[in-house]
Amino acid sequence: MLPERIATRYVTPLREGGSLPGIVEADDLGTYVMKFTGAGQGRKTLVAEVVCGELGRRLGLRVPDLVRLQLDPVIGLAEPDEEVQDLLKASGGLNLGMDYLPGSIGFDPLAYEADPGEAGRIVWFDALINNVDRSWRNPNLLVWHGKLWLIDHGATMIWHHNWPGAAAAAGKPYDASDHVLASFAPDIDAAAADLAPRITDALLTEVLALVPDEWLAGEPGFDSTDDLRRAYVEALLARAGIHDRIKLGPRTADRPSQVPGWLATELPKRSAR
Ligand SMILES: Nc1ncnc2c1ncn2[C@@H]1O[C@H](COP(=O)(O)OP(=O)(O)OP(=O)(O)O)[C@@H](O)[C@H]1O
Ligand SMILES: [Mg+2]
């Protein structure tokens, strides 16, 4: 199970995030980015954060620590913004916390270099989890102490929004042309050789066990949360051979974004470069 903490102070909203995550302090004196169960995008976003964040960590990628974060909405009473108030009121109880990386800045492909080995591992991982949200428009990659850190895995595993189509979705290619690391000659062959054999039933089962039951309960078509966990394991296992289906073409600024409609409306506006 992920460690559990109690939020003790709501500090400020992170206005760049479409889901309005907030910075909070907790009873371990840590500072966390809180992702709320009451956010419009729903519990599946949090499930995706846990599954993909913890899987990435086990594959050797840098992901800030994740915790279960208990919220009493009363800690936000002094917050003047009504939208934030509503979000806090709708999110009493269990939420997700991600360790806040103070002083980190967003990765900018024009300002930083990434090495082909690391770029390959991140692109391959994003293909595995079908991440549509690590593009040059919205990198969801932080630079902290000179290293890359992966955040925001909420828009991954698109198949979990339509389980009947999951088996077919797992076989679909991954277009990495707009990936924020596409221009760094990602060594996808080396990444696949290293990482694909590590995507095992045992590893995925371990990761799925970290997802709180209450975020999985009640999914139509499944008798139990363990059945649903099994479906995640099988969908990811089926995608471990994604290597040959990763496309890296020219960046296509004028092509419609691949980000799903429910997320696109929430994305911060960034000017094309
Ligand atoms: N662990 C962290 N440490 C420091 N800053 C962070 C952290 N997590 C998120 N941020 C900052 O907050 C912003 C919003 O976070 P995040 O991308 O997770 O939210 P979101 O609502 O899912 O956003 P999106 O609009 O991309 O869907 C990030 O772009 C980053 O600037
Ligand atoms: Mg984001």
CA of 178 to the centre of ligand 2 (A): 15
Q: How far, in Å, CA of 224 to CA of 174, rounded?
A: 31
Structure tokens at 230: 């099994």
Integer angstrom CA distances of residue 267 from 108, 122, 138, 140: 17, 21, 8, 11
What pLDDT score was predicted for residue 270?
37
- Which 8-state DSSP code applies to residue 269? P
User: Quick one: the chain helix, strand, coil %, rounded to 5?
Assistant: 35, 20, 45
From the CA of 142, the nearest ligand is 1
pLDDT of amino acid 258: 54
Separation of alpha carbons 90 and 260, rounded Å = 24
pLDDT at 250: 83
Report the nearest-CA residue for atom 6 of ligand 1.
Answer: 100
Mean model confidence pLDDT for the chain: 92
Instruction: Check residue 254 and give its pLDDT.
Output: 53
- For ligand 1, mutation pick of 25, 33, 107, 136 (most atoms within 8 Å of CB): 33
Low-confidence ranges of the chain (pLDDT < 70): 253-273
* Six token digits for residue 237: 């296992």
**Residues lining ligand 1, judged by CB closer than 6 Å?**
14, 16-19, 21, 33, 64, 98-101, 104, 106, 133, 138, 140, 142, 151-152, 154, 266-268
Cα 70 to middle of ligand 1, angstroms? 19
Note the pLDDT of residue 161: 95
**Nearest residue to 215 (alpha-carbon basis) of 66, 27, 32:** 66
Sign of CA dihedral 215, 22, 128, 146: negative
- Compute and round to an integer the Cα radius of gyration of the chain: 18
Measure the CA–CA gap between 206 and 15, rounded to whole angstroms: 33
How high is the pLDDT of residue 255?
54
Residues with Cβ within 8 Å of residue 54, at least 6 apart in sequence: 63, 66, 207, 210
State which ligand 1 atom lies nearest to the alpha carbon of 106: 31
In this prediction, residue 41 carries a pLDDT of 81
pLDDT digits (tens, 9 = 90+) for 61-78: 999 999 999 999 999 888
Ligand nearest the Cα atom of residue 35: 1
Say what the pLDDT of residue 17 is: 76
* CA-proximal residue: ligand 1, atom 19 (nearest): 17
- Which of the ligands is closest to the CA of residue 102? 1
How is residue 126 annotated by DSSP? H
Going from N- to C-terminal start, the domains of the chain cover: 4-99, 105-147+161-264
- DSSP character string of 15-73: TTSTT--EEEEETTS-EEEEE-TTSTT-HHHHHHHHHHHHHHHHTT-----EEEEEE-G
- Residues 267, 12, 53, 235: what is their CA dihedral angle, to the nearest 10 degrees? -50
